[in-house]
Amino acid sequence: MTKAVLLEDPHPSADPIFADADITVERISGALDESELIDALSDADIVGIRSKTSVTRRVIEACPRLSVIGCFCIGTNQVDIDAATAAGIAIFNAPYSNTRSVVELAIGHIISLTRRIPAKNAALHRGEWQKTASGAHEVRGKTLGIVGYGNIGTQLSVLAEAMGMNVVFYDHTDRLALGNAVKLGSLDDLLRMSDVVSLHVDGRETNRDFFGEREFSQMKDGALFINLARGFVADIEALRRHLVSGHLAGAAVDVYPSEPKKNGDPFTSPLVGLDNVILTPHIGGSTLEAQNDIGRFVAGKIVDYRTRGITEMSVNIPNLTLQANPDARYRLCHIHRNMPGVLAAVNQTFATQGVNINGQILGTQAEVGYALTDIASELPVETVAALRAMTETVRLRVLELDSANA
């Protein structure tokens, strides 16, 4: 029996996909700490997580049965990718499924802050009527500076421009500008000319604390700051100082350096209580549409890997797809250290023991290689044992093929 443990409530759209593949699902509400996670995964082949559960090296080493990690979200920084790869564990995520949801939230924040909606809302809740245009503006004609021009940044660029905003962007990677957006040569240039600065960088460790006192100081007087990216990329204390001083007119923050593990837990932040700040509980991608798509997408990738060895869009294993011939009886999924001669040694083992190869494909990526081999003949147990005994072998799975898998 194949077992999947899903934490943090991925959308139930994943469940029928697992059920159709005879994968039993155990759901755990909320995140678990390291020791709790090890206990929960003691008999699991698959783990599904979102953003608050960390799959560390200790978890990976303590759970040798684990073969797949599904991140039901965009990022994978909560997983020790090096440790997972060394153990032959494939990782899948959903890099595009909630892009639109994040972008729409960013647009909403831009409009709300530009019109000073948070302060107006707070005043009415205090029983104060403040009907005035003071400090309220249209977004049309304003300059939006996008830091990080990837999947989210580019779509935000298109929608913002459709609303009449001027768009500039900065990215350490050379990106093609969409529409009339202008790529700038430095972050400093972007900060000096933007009325709104929106962060959309990824979760790599080099982005930790990259936006701090120096960057906030360079922003225009009266500018707005938005962070829907990662909580650890921006200095919250520095942001508070620039908001309280009046240098910045407002901010919207959806991600935090430290976040509660589950709903109902207490939340604290230096930004709490400021009426020119919108705080949301890490809901950038949390729309029903996005979560439904993520549930189906990640579950589908996991099932493809477990049943056919397909690694399309894996973040750490070479991406391979092999269409099975109707005559194929077995598929060997061989993750190995990327060293010269491994495939030759594998095929020599087959030849020596009279095993007929029906189809084969190899991919390598950094220190790991992955080979799919379809077999049309009998597959002696001695052959499988010999392949597992190879010093280069990291993980070997043998799948029985039928017309449904082919």
Mind telling me the catalytic residues?
230, 259, 282
Amino acid at 121: N
Residue 340, burial from CB neighbour count under 10 angstroms (0-12, 13-18, 19+): exposed
Q: Do the strands 68-71 and 46-49 form a parallel or antiparallel pair, or are they unpaired?
A: parallel
CB 325 within 8 A of CB 359: yes
Q: How far apart are CA 320 and CA 399, in angstroms?
A: 16
Q: How far apart are CA 290 and CA 181, in angstroms?
A: 26
Radius of gyration of the chain (CA): 25
Identity of residue 79? V
State the DSSP string of 315-357. Answer: SSS-----PPPTT--EEEEEEEE--TTHHHHHHHHHHHTTPPE
3-state secondary structure of 281: coil
- Cα separation of 317 and 333, whole Å? 11
Give dist(CA 129, CA 126) in Å, integer.
Answer: 9
Q: Which of 153, 144, 168 has its CA nearest to residue 200? A: 153
- Both tokens assigned to 16: 């029928």
Q: What is the dihedral of CA 92, 98, 103, 104, to 10 degrees?
A: -170
Residue 358 CA, distance from chain mean position: 36
